[in-house]
Amino acid sequence: MTFIYATCVDTCPLLTAKLASLRDRLGPDFGARVSFVAITVDPERDTPEILKGYAVAHGASHPGWVFLTGTPSEIREVTRRYGVFARKTPRGDVDHTFLTSLVDREGTLRVQYMGVRFDPDEMLRDLRSLLRDGDR
């Protein structure tokens, strides 16, 4: 699970590209056993249609990868629960915490990665470890 917004021109597309690379490396487990969830931090602008366009533009429109929006209060509650800071700037950008979380099938938060510079190999190892744990 991660937090993005569709009009972001720098870090959100980089994060999405990194996750797309991981999706490819997961092979048949992606969609079947691993899902990616991206939640907008700009619900006023990011309608389902806008997020669908973002997904298509960034190679993320695949089964198993969802982009979610909600009311501003719903998004505030989700960001609060995950410890994500999000604030709209006067220019209309959204300053926000770049946090990607691994959550297991039971909804337990297992690992968090800060920023867009996390090591995709480490995240892949963590994902595969969670898959092995789920097989037991």
For 85-97, what is each residue's pLDDT tens digit? 999 999 889 999 9
Residue 61 reports pLDDT greater than 90: no
Amino acid at 83: G
For 4-59, what is each residue's pLDDT tens digit? 999 999 899 999 999 999 999 999 999 999 999 999 999 999 999 999 999 999 99
The model's pTM: 0.92
pLDDT of residue 135: 66
Which whole number is the average pLDDT over 93-102?
A: 92
Q: How far apart are CA 16 and CA 38, in angstroms?
A: 9
CATH topology of domain 2-135: Glutaredoxin (3.40.30)
* DSSP-based three-state secondary structure for 43: coil
Rounded-to-10 torsion of CA 68, 70, 74, 80: 40
Residue spans of the domains in the chain: they are 2-135
H helices present in the chain, as ranges:
11-26, 29-32, 48-57, 72-82, 120-135
Tell me how far the alpha carbon of residue 14 is from its chain's centroid: 12
